[in-house]
């Protein structure tokens, strides 16, 4: 388990996000967590050069619906990367396991079957406090980390294209 804030990033080591278009699909479930992750992602994308009009955000009811939301976003929007944001907290039933496994496998499938990278930003914690700590609390904001991953993956997707020099 992380014990320090892992959300620091060095802008000099990240490609400029200006030429890229990003999608963010956010679960409405546990909004006090997911909205913090969403804001962290947006702030980071913009800080790294993305234009706000090149960031599209959609909401879906829960984490399980993230996969379908991301799939529709891939099929209907011209994007360089998508961030799937959700939060599942362990309860007393196996529901936690089914949702986490389904979302994880669904995002893997999207990454295999489509040419748009989908970044997994789903907190799967044992307690609400752990989720708070990872969505802007003492351990940072995973939305920030996932935005950095999205920028790097967008650069990889566009590697070699004449209109975008990413330094590879």
CA distance 108 to 119: 9
Classify residue 59 as left (phi > 0), alpha (psi -120 to 50) or beta: beta
Catalytic (active site) residue 54: no
Label residue 130 exposed, middle or buried (CB < 10 Å: 0-12, 13-18, 19+).
Answer: middle
Residues 128/91, Cβ–Cβ less than 8 Å: no
Candidate list 2, 11, 61, 95, residue with the active-site label: 95
The strand pairing partners of 118, in sequence order, are: 82
Question: Known catalytic residues?
Answer: 95
């Amino acid at each position: 388990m992380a014990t320090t804030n892992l959300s620091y990033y060095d802008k000099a080591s990240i490609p400029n996000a200006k030429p890229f278009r990003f999608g963010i699909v956010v679960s409405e479930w546990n909004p006090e967590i997911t909205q913090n992750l969403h804001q962290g992602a947006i702030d980071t994308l913009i800080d790294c050069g993305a234009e706000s009009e090149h960031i599209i955000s959609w909401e879906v009811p829960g984490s399980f619906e993230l996969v379908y939301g991301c799939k529709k976003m891939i099929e209907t929007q011209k994007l360089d990367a998508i961030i799937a944001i959700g939060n599942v907290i362990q309860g007393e039933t196996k529901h936690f396991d089914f949702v986490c496994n389904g979302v994880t496998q669904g995002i893997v499938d999207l990454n295999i079957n489509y040419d748009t990278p989908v970044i997994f930003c789903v907190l799967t914690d044992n307690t609400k406090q752990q989720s708070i700590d990872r969505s802007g609390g003492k351990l940072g904001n995973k939305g920030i980390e996932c935005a950095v991953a999205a920028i790097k993956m967008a650069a990889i997707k566009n590697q070699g294209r004449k209109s975008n020099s990413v330094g590879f």
